[in-house]
Amino acid sequence: MCGIVGIVSEKPVSQDLYEALTVLQHRGQDAAGMVTCHGRKLQMRKANGLVRDVFQQQHMQRLGDGTVGLAHVRYPTAGSSSSAEAQPMYVNSPYGIAFAHNGNLTNSLELQADLFKEDMRHVNTGSDSEVLLNVFAHELQELGADRPDAEQIFKAVEEVHRRCSGGYAGIALIMGAGIVGFRDPLGIRPLIYGKKETATGIDYMLASESVALDALGYQRIRDVKPGEAVFISNNGEISTAICADKTRLIPCIFEYVYLARPDSIIDQVSVYKARLRMGEHLGKRIMERFPANDHDIDVVVPIPDTGRTAALPLAHQLNVKYREGFVKNRYIGRTFIMPGQSERKRSVRQKFNSIGLELKGKNVLLVDDSIVRGTTIKQIIQMARDAGARKVYLASAAPPVRYPNVYGIDMPSVNEFVANNKSTEEIGLEIGADLLVYQTLEDLIESAREGNPDIEGFETSVFDGVYITGDIDDKYLNQLSKSRNDQAKNQEDVSPSEQGIIGLHNHG
């Protein structure tokens, strides 16, 4: 997950970076950071907390007149939540490089050992973002240029792709040169860039989602291609190059299910329209259970906010009323990305309140985007019953989540999945639903692919256990499972050496 943004302009960029981060806040609520560059001076501010809390007036003044900068919002995965692991991260050699990253390296441990033994570089945190930064810095230093040009920067990115495995998108600010954004050779994690014509010239922005460009008046140019690097010099000159031998476009499908904002367009696919199609397919699956349209559903109620879009066409197909049955407290964070089970349980009741008039005495079909642990939906189902619902059915716009994600999404330990080793009927009993209907994987893929037939496939490992980088084995998954359970996440002040693989998945 995480959100990244970089801007090159003729005017100070700190305010635009701040506004872009607020638009990307849904991608990370644990920490935020920003760095700006003016001449030969870098100014940085980063800390734990929401964007509005991290950047106060004095911080924005200190970030000052820099016309080049990048920023990051982070969400917690496993291991330490120390502010030292907030991004951007920085190394002073060569040139001075700041870096913001979204994704996960699946060979972090091996890379960390290589950096220490062969590259003579020290990684000081448990973050694989720092590993990726040091790999890039080392490869750039090996070229030995006084000031790197686009060709040399692209050569360093080539070596990053050669050495690194996983799903990642990154933006690096290189002192005296500009910013470069790059995306993994499979295009798993998103990255897009655009431009804005101003009175003083053309500004450029790189960001995780198109909505950040839209909000600041930038015109979308296109998504960064798999394996591609986009370099924007301090002078506003833009260069692009494919920096990997083998590339395929296989984006993460969970972006369309849950992670991205509905008003974003990722790899030319409207997230909103993809979710509409999910609802249409889901409606067909429900109607297959009632071929004579003899269901007893009185009302379709979405779980706000991400369940709304799929619920609309579903209600239309079932020919029943669509109603808002729950009000969401917008000042409570996304429970999916909260660090511990106890905190998630407390937050659900604070986050939602039922509207009894829409639920009492009715057979209610709830619609959610996905079901992971089942913690939230189980309590919501009980809230519907407490409000007087006769029956509570549930439809999930995504298939059962049964496998961990290794490419940058904080899925829990496998034994914490509510679908682990359970049939659909058993899951329904576990969460207290009278009927549970899941989307099929085929329909989910079709919902997203329809927006861009050129997409070769989707990263769907959380549903089918297929890891497209080809380097994931049972040993890796077992280590990952130990690091991602709630007990591990609740540990405090664990050193990087003690964290092992835990720390190396602490980027966001």
Domain harbouring 147, CATH code: 3.60.20.10
Q: 2, 37, 164, 252: which is the annotated catalytic residue?
A: 2
Angle, in degrees to the nearest 10, between helices 375-386 and 424-431: 60
Hey, which residues does 123 pair with through a beta bridge?
A: none
Q: Please identify, among 418, 433, 450, the residue that sits at the C-terminal boundary of a domain.
A: 450
> pLDDT at position 331, please?
76
Quick count: other Cβ atoms within 10 Å of Cβ 48? 17
Structure tokens that stand for 176 in this block = 């005296």
Estimate to the nearest angstrom the gap between the alpha carbon of 217 and the chain centroid. Answer: 23
Q: Which helix (H) or strand (E) holds 33?
A: strand 31-38
Q: Is residue 59 part of a domain?
A: yes
- Co-location of 312 and 373 in the same domain: yes
Q: Residue 499: pLDDT band by 50, 70, 90 thresholds?
A: very low
- pLDDT at position 452 over 80: yes
Give the separation between CA 479 and CA 476, rounded to whole angstroms: 5
pLDDT of 228-283, one tens digit each? 999 999 999 999 999 999 999 999 999 999 999 999 999 999 999 999 999 999 99
Q: Report, as an integer, the average pLDDT of 405-428.
A: 93
Tell me which of 83-97, 317-331, 359-373, 472-486 is least confident: 472-486
Angle, in degrees to the nearest 10, between helices 128-143 and 150-163: 130
- Co-location of 18 and 67 in the same domain: yes
Structure tokens that stand for 496 in this block = 């990087």
pLDDT of 50-70, one tens digit each? 999 999 999 999 998 999 999
> pLDDT at position 486, please?
54
- pLDDT at position 357 over 90: yes
pLDDT of 426-437, one tens digit each? 999 999 999 999
Give the separation between CA 269 and CA 190, rounded to whole angstroms: 12
- pLDDT at position 150 over 70: yes
Give the separation between CA 463 and CA 411, rounded to whole angstroms: 12
Pairing between β-strand 352-354 and β-strand 326-328 as defined by DSSP bridges: antiparallel
DSSP-assigned letter for residue 226: T
Contact predicate 500/113, CB 8 Å:
no
- Co-location of 286 and 242 in the same domain: no
Percent of the chain with pLDDT over 90: 82
Of 54, 5, 60, the closest CA to residue 30 belongs to: 54
- Co-location of 86 and 47 in the same domain: yes
> pLDDT at position 75, please?
83
Mean pLDDT score across all residues of the chain: 91
- Co-location of 105 and 218 in the same domain: yes
> pLDDT at position 337, please?
47
Residue 2 annotated in active site: yes
Q: Is residue 504 part of a domain?
A: no
- Co-location of 122 and 38 in the same domain: yes
Give the separation between CA 219 and CA 87, rounded to whole angstroms: 26
Contact predicate 368/397, CB 8 Å:
yes
**Residue-number span of the structural domain to which 167 is assigned:** 3-250
